[in-house]
């Protein structure tokens, strides 16, 4: 399992580190102009009260055909804009939204994310609405 992720303040990094520690999955921080060879799941953050980070958008534009799902972090203080970058990526690139978590996530969030990725989407065909439970 490969997780491609974007982080700015370290919240997504901390979330990813915990997931990798529990699962042993591979995590790769996305870089400018990055093209991926292997399919995986995207984890990103929401910026500017509801925007997709520029690096995430560029990455998804170039690699959306190889992304199984998107997960986003956010802050519940943003109200309806909580984790909305995930909604926007899902809509723009027709990638299922897997999960949203606040800041760096709780252990419950981490376990729920792992369960969703491992049990609900591991072998599913892309475009499945099965994951739209966030």
Domain count along the chain: 1
pTM comes to: 0.88
pLDDT at 127: 43
pLDDT at 131: 42
Across the range 113-132, mean pLDDT stands at 64
Given a contact cutoff of 8 angstroms between Cβ atoms, the answer to whether 89 and 72 are in contact is yes
Residue 52 pLDDT > 90, yes or no?
A: yes
Range of the domain at 22: 2-131
Cα 130 to Cα 134: distance, rounded to the nearest angstrom = 11
The enclosing domain of 19 has a CATH number of 3.40.50.360
Strands, E assignment, the chain:
2-5, 26-29, 40-45, 67-74, 97-102
pLDDT digits (tens, 9 = 90+) for 17-50: 999 999 999 999 999 999 999 999 999 999 887 8
């Amino acid at each position: 399992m490969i997780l491609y992720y974007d982080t700015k303040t370290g919240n997504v990094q901390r979330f990813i580190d915990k997931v990798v520690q529990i699962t042993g999955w591979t995590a790769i921080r996305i870089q400018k102009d990055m093209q991926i060879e292997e399919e995986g799941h995207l984890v990103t953050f929401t910026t500017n009260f509801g925007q997709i980070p520029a690096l995430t958008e560029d990455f998804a534009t170039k690699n959306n055909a190889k992304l199984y799902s998107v997960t986003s972090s956010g802050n519940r203080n943003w109200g309806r804009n909580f984790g909305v970058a995930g909604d926007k990526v899902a809509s723009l690139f027709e990638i299922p939204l897997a999960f949203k978590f606040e800041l760096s996530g709780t252990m419950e969030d981490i376990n729920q994310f792992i369960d969703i990725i491992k049990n609900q989407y591991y072998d599913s065909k892309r475009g499945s609405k099965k994951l739209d439970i966030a």
